[in-house]
Amino acid sequence: MNIEAARVMEATDTLGHFINGQMVAGDGRSQDVFNPATGAVVRQVALASKATVEQAIAAAEAAFPEWRNTPPMKRARIMFRFKELLEQHADQVVALITEEHGKVLNDALGEFQRGVEVVEYACAAPELLKGEHSKNVGPAIDSWSEFQPLGVVAGITPFNFPAMVPMWMYPMAIVCGNTFVLKPSERDPSAPMFIAGLLKEAGLPDGVFNVVNGDKEAVDTLLEDPRVQAVSFVGSTPVAEYIYRTGTANGKRVQALGGAKNHAIVMPDADMDNTVSALMGAAYGSCGERCMAISVAVAVGEETADILVGKLQDELASLKVGTGTDNNNDMGPLITRPHCEKVRGYVDIGVEEGAELVVDGRGLKVTDHEDGFFLGASLFDRVRPEMKIYQDEIFGPVLCVVRVNSMQEAMDLIDAHEYGNGTCIFTRDGEAARYFSDNIKVGMVGVNVPLPVPVSYHSFGGWKRSLFGDLFAYGPDSIRFYTRRKTITQRWPSGGVREKAKFTFPSNS
């Protein structure tokens, strides 16, 4: 472990906060952090009070003037060093993710690498922050635009991607010249705390990046403090809507990414073997705890549905569920016992509602890990749109199959849902794929790609109640979100000539 990260993660009963480049102890309240595979408490995490969050905001505010005036090239060089340190310490970060979240190590590494790609994109800050210049927009008048930082900005991130989602936010915010306060999930806080030490070692000045662990008290402080200029959030739709309404009511710029119910249309001409393989990973990878997980497969035609369900049933018979530390496993535990019981409850509801439970994951037992938060994969067939298991985001290893008669019926089903995060279609028909991509009312679309998560130099976001705000996460939209455009028009009169006043509106005509 490197020196700075070791200082941040120093042995202690309670994980505190990272403020102004230093580890800060908790101030009273704390909660347990579990290893989901064993059910045992691995550490405690402090829950920040209003005063602690205000301390972090003050540190960020104090660091802003100097950081704002740091040349973008110097900011980018810190990001280059940060990227190198992340790659050098990937195994340690991934181990922390698996220990506290439960996902299989290979899956944790994939998450981590996608986060590092955003850091890599941030290294292009000098190019991304270039303004626009026009000479002689009028007689001896030049005009140009600049992208200026906002000030102190904050990120509030979920448990399911403890490393990647924070890296969607702060690398771009920081290279744009802002200072940052991160409030990660209190369920798996160690990875972002460790990474904070890597940022410090990379040369980031104290106070530019701060981490406060906490709950709603910390969130509300960030939303209400007038020094915080913008807030980025990823989580459930009810909380996203609360974040957006509260933040904007307090005059902040807000992007709040919410929930999802991602559908995959399976056409009769689809390559069924490849489709089933893709759906297995997209529905059950990371226990379905992904906002881009496929949770509904819409089969066009009875024959298509019968083949699809039969092949999924066969594949699920060999699905390996166990501890995340064993890369031979396909799926690990869920994040907490209450969440595991909530997902189990949805399977109960689906049965009560009359859906056909083809594969039941409720009876799974993992040898020597009976106290872990494990739930097997479940598959429902003949799910109807009025059912709760269709309407709600379950966020667990449950796949619903809906049967329809046509592609248009499938698209109407998707468009009618309140969420519009991601979707995909499996087909060999280019015309159908093009029509689907062009007309579906969803923000991210895949064609024979089940998880169409944009790469770092595009932007991530959904439509409808999957996104509150106008701009997506990372990519080009992040430059727009974390900066203000300022347009400057300049003229220097020459010859010492006093000009007469002009009372008409200026124009070039």
Identify the residue whose tokens are 């393989």.
Answer: 277
Q: Measured on CA atoms in the order 161, 164, 167, 168, is the torsion positive or negative?
A: negative
Overall residue count recorded for the chain in this entry: 509
CA–CA dist 34, 39 (Å, integer): 6
Q: By C-alpha distance, which of 461, 102, 158, 449 is closest to 286?
A: 102
**Is 123 considered catalytic here?**
no
CA atoms within 13 A on the CB side of 303: 4
CA–CA dist 384, 298 (Å, integer): 11
Q: How many helices (H) and strands (E) does the chain have?
A: 17, 23
CA–CA dist 249, 243 (Å, integer): 10
Helices (H), 139-271: 164-175, 190-201, 216-224, 237-249
Helices (H), 380-507: 388-391, 407-416, 430-439, 475-481
Buried b (16+ CB within 10 A) or exposed e, 232-255: bbbbbbebbebbbebbbeeebbbb
Element (H, E) at 256: strand 253-257
CA–CA dist 254, 224 (Å, integer): 12
Contacts of 208 (CB under 8 A, 6+ apart): 60, 63, 67, 174, 179, 180
Secondary structure, 3-state, 457-472: CCCECCEECCEECCCC
CB 116 within 8 A of CB 82: no
Residue 230 vs residues 76, 126, 151, 246, 419: alpha-carbon distances, Å = 22, 22, 8, 12, 24
Provide the 10 A C-beta neighbour count for residue 453.
15
CA–CA dist 252, 274 (Å, integer): 45
DSSP character at residue 216: H
- The residue annotated as part of the active site, out of 176, 287, 291, 340, is 291
Q: By C-alpha distance, which of 210, 379, 356 is closest to 308?
A: 379
For the annotated catalytic residues, the residue numbers are 291
